[in-house]
Structure 1
């Protein structure tokens, strides 16, 4: 994108998604690093994003007291240091615009910025003080966002889970006028922020009200960073049009501070992910945005669980289609239309199927009922059978054409009565053997070579018997012995064909067993990855809680630290439950196993004699 575009329009204080911008966003297949900035209007938010984009111009800066940015504007650019990611910059409408009639609109813009971003930047002026904290809508978050659809109204437990999907928090303080010192000692900007988030003691409503936004920031944003900026320049005439100001005209300290901010974002801002390690690309971000805005417009509260489940339905369906298409493309390339044996074809199928399953497992998520996995198994089974059928038809047609050509002289001789003479049977056998030997030398006849040959030989049986009986050079005893020999040979060939069909049936059952085993293997691997991700998230939450509990103790809030014990114990219980592999993990895999055996009856029959371990590990 050469320039930003409005992503979420704010018309008459009604939010709606700009479809042109949505098309741009949903064309991005790479994971996205989403940096959203919020803050009071006319505080220089847009300038910082332009710096991140490496441009002076882009997001509108404005030079009057009126707010320029309306809604949420988006700028998608190549990530400067991570070629596998796309950087998505979101500039939000300034909070506290006096021209607004309803400030509820501000809180929804704020909530959307939280829901969409992986790094959330709050921009304020001068100092971190009580007013700046109050203007940050963190105290309203539990009223603006729901984690689970079951929690209504939002409960304390639900709010505790915000930390699992909230973005990293960066506070930028513009036109900073204080010395970074505390008790006569120099401090960092991060220490300045943490000191500003200390709680005040006292039980009167005013103190508790002042503590509330501090508690919310500490509770919801464990990863915090702060940057302070001097005034860009002392020349007021330049301040009104910073987009035209060269770096050489900026105060050196401000330029260094701005460069440090950009460097931090480029190196530390993570790709957008959801709980469970679900990586978000532009396509998924666009789907989530539409769900959130639609929910807000309906007057309801955006629910992360519902949005993720809706996203999963769409994405898992697409994952099935992508995987099945990949299977077809690979099979078309690898499978010769006259593959020599069924086993050769089934081996190629197994290779392509493994790739397709792996692709599906990588792209799918929240398929807890395994409906989409089962759909893929059914589709691949149908496609496999279609390839087998197509292979058989090609082989049959090819072999029949070859036999018709090779037996042309034989059939003409039969039609002309050439063999209805003394010694004609011996002559017939010689010509017949010549056809069979020539057919045997034909390469790459395919799966149906023997079956087509047997049908050809059987079609000559009555003619062969007539020639035998008409041959006056043979005695009756010789004719009887030859007829018996021919009969035994025919029975032997029929048995060979039956044996071959039984062998192919077993090979097909073995193929279904391999399908079952590959699905179970990859499902267990995915479940193990999911479990490890949940453990990481729970352990991160536990670490955050323990750190916060320790800080509360140090600040003298023993009652709050004691109250946090219950949350810590709940997290410990969750961690132990996940580590012990109990309940839903094994049940989920076992349910998948049973359903797969219904789809793959051949695997079920073989598993009756070869029971598998359905445990996770």
Structure 2
């Protein structure tokens, strides 16, 4: 179990003092520190029916949850014990032992109902513990289950309690297991023998976000209001999904930095890497997201990734520009020095200049991985030479005309 604090024994998770429920922050920190998938089994039932003993057996221990030998209830509130899952590696099993129902020492049974409701809301498997057979008396004791219709709301809007909307939230309620202790009848079903172990088969299922849900439920109950499943789920979604977005975004940025070799030869090369990293990021988001049925948070993630992509495109362009400018400065050094030294200020100098410029451009075209700004940087460089090029041309033309004139005059003198 990946927990910051090893649990050698159970700890009180929800304290029931003076008919008020309060979350034990130390226990909450332990619960929140678990990074592995969590399966939660809660047990409820009449006091002094052996609930704590059963939970100790589920933990694979003989002792742990307090056992009582008198008519006085030992377990107050809800006690928690986090142990490694016995059959699923890298999974944690969270056992919740609840205060016994129907304790005669309690003057008000309202807290019984709230303890029962919290056990239902927090667990992925809910065990109701009773003794002897499932008879009329046992059914009467299950009145707390029917009372949950008044203690838990599925939807916050009164007009949104239709079958379709309510069915959407069925998945948030736990599997129900009724454990009958000291069973007196034959273990037989449809003429076939069964074992007590079959009561617990397929019992443990994943439940996530239990620490935040617990705080939400207890805070609501303590305020005197009725806990609403929809509101609690939405509150959890508002907490969990931004964190999932951040994890996905961080992965995208890390992978892009790792995979992109700036500058890329083409824009499409960069976009292909973006597509791959985006898929990975969305997959991570889906793994860590919670109840994003409308894809609100996933759309937000996509927008963030688009913005990050634009940043990488901009960086790719800057890297290409910087690299190409550096290469051009090196390759044009001979041409620039020749211009400064007046090498082309001679008759026919423009032809010499064009030849040297062509040589420089061919060398530039041979440079690999110049990136998306290669042509743009070259064109800007050539434009910067435009005035110099025009000056060389005019000088060449003037000197050539002068040379021709000189030759013309020299030829006339010889004829005369």
Deviations 1:106-135 (A, max 9, x none): 111011111112222122234444444333
- The question of whether the paired residues in 2 share the 8 Å contact of 1:143 and 1:154 is answered with no
- Give the aligned partner of residue 139 of structure 1: 146
Secondary structure in structure 1 of the residue aligned to 2:312 = helix
Residue 387 of structure 1 corresponds to 312
Gaps of 5+ in 2: 1-6, 402-416
Q: Which moved more, 1:357-366 or 1:98-107?
A: 357-366
Indicate which of 346, 349, 365 corresponds to 1:440: 365
Query: Paired residue for 1:21, among 6, 23, 27?
Result: 27
Name the structure 2 match of 1:407: 332
Residues 79 and 98 of structure 2 are in contact (CA less than 8 Å); yes or no, is this contact kept in structure 1?
A: yes
For residue 377 of structure 2, give the secondary structure of its aligned residue in structure 1. helix
TM-score in terms of structure 1 length: 0.58
Q: Is 1:71–2:5 an aligned residue pair?
A: no
Q: Aligned ranges for residues 126-205 of structure 1 at < 5 Å?
A: 126-136=132-142, 137-151=144-158, 165-176=172-183, 178=184, 180=185, 186-188=186-188
Tell me how far apart the structure 2 counterparts of residues 321 and 288 of structure 1 sit (CA, whole Å).
Answer: 21
Indicate conservation of the 8 Å contact 1:9/1:70, yes or no.
yes
What residue number does 1:4 align with?
Answer: 10
Matched, 1:124 2:130: yes
* Structure 1 residue 373: Cα displacement: 3.2
* 1:423–1:471 CA contact under 8 A, matched in 2: yes
Change (3 A) 1:75 1:32: same
CA distance in 2, matches of 1:2, 1:434: 79
1:370-424 superposed Cα distances (whole Å, 9 cap, x missing partner): 4323322321221111101011111111111121122223222222222212343
1:295: how far off? 1.2
TM-superposition CA deviations, 1:252-279 (whole Å, max 9, x none): xxxxx8xx54x863x411414xxxxxxx
Structure 1 157/442 Cα, relative in aligned 2: closer, same or farther at 3 Å?
Answer: closer
Q: Which among 192, 200, 203 is matched to residue 269 of structure 1?
A: 203
Distance 1:468 1:114, change over 3 A: same
| Residues 94 and 405 (structure 1), Cα distance of their counterparts in 2 relative to 1, 3 Å cut | same
Q: In 2 relative to 1, CA 172–432 (structure 1 residues): closer, same or farther, beyond 3 Å?
A: same
Conservation of the 8 A alpha-carbon contact between 1:146 and 1:158: no
Instruction: Quote the Cα distance in structure 1 between the aligned partners of 2:35 and 2:399.
Output: 81
CA distance in 2, matches of 1:158, 1:301: 19
Instruction: Give 1:539's aligned residue.
Output: none
Contact 1:151–1:158 (CA under 8 A) maintained in structure 2: no
How far the C-alpha of 1:473 sits from its partner, in A, is: 9.3
Kept in 2, the 8 Å contact 1:38–1:110? The answer is yes
The CA deviation at 1:338 is: 0.6
How far is 1:456 from its partner? 0.9
* 1:467 and 2:401 correspond: no
Q: What is the RMSD of the two structures over their aligned residues, measured on CA atoms?
A: 3.0
Q: For the residues of structure 2 that align with 1:44 and 1:166, how far apart are their CA atoms?
A: 24
Measure how far apart 1:353 and its partner are.
Answer: 1.9
Secondary structure at the counterpart of residue 158 of structure 2: coil
User: How far does residue 451 in structure 1 lie from its aligned partner after superposition?
Assistant: 0.8
Structure 1 residue 164: deviation in Å? 5.6
Cα 1:94–1:152 shift into 2, 3 Å = farther
| SS of equivalent residue, structure 1 residue 268 | coil
Residue pair 1:423, 1:473 contacting (<8 A) in 2 also = no
2:264 equivalent in structure 1: 339
* Aligned with residue 100 of structure 2, among 79, 94, 101: 94
Aligned partner of 1:375 among 297, 300, 313? 300
Within 2, Cα distance between the matches of 1:377 and 1:409?
A: 49
Task: Say if 1:26 and 1:170 are closer, same or farther in 2 by CA, change over 3 A.
Answer: same
2:404 aligns with none
Give the number of the structure whose residues are more often helix, by fraction: 1
| Partner Cα distance (1:459, 1:162) in 2 | 69
Instruction: Give the aligned partner of residue 37 of structure 1.
Output: 43
For 1:296, the equivalent position in structure 2 comes to: 221
Deviation at 1:339, TM superposition (A): 0.6
Equivalent-residue separation in structure 2 for 1:95 and 1:403 (angstroms): 85
Distance 1:264 1:430 in 2: 92
Question: What TM-score, normalized to structure 2?
Answer: 0.84
Q: Write the mapping of 1:385-534 to structure 2, written as runs, cut at 5 A.
A: 385-471=310-396
The Cα shift of 1:150 comes to 2.6
Which of 1 and 2 has greater Rg? 2
Q: Which residue of 1 aligns with 2:230?
A: 305
Give the Cα separation in 1 of the matches to 2:345 and 2:190. Answer: 111
Say if 2:311 is the partner of 1:350: no
Q: Is the 1:62–1:68 contact (alpha carbons within 8 Å) kept by the matching residues of 2?
A: yes
Check whether the contact 2:21–2:77 (CA below 8 A) recurs between aligned residues. Answer: yes
| Partners of 1:37 and 1:123 within 8 A in 2 | yes
Q: What is the alpha-carbon distance in structure 1 between the residues aligned to residue 160 and residue 318 of structure 2?
A: 63
Instruction: Determine helix, strand or coil for the equivalent of 2:130.
Output: strand
Indicate if the aligned counterparts of 1:142 and 1:154 stay in contact, CA closer than 8 A.
no
* Helix, strand or coil at the partner of 1:74: strand
Supply the distance in 2 between the matched residues of 1:51 and 1:383 (Cα, whole angstroms).
Answer: 52
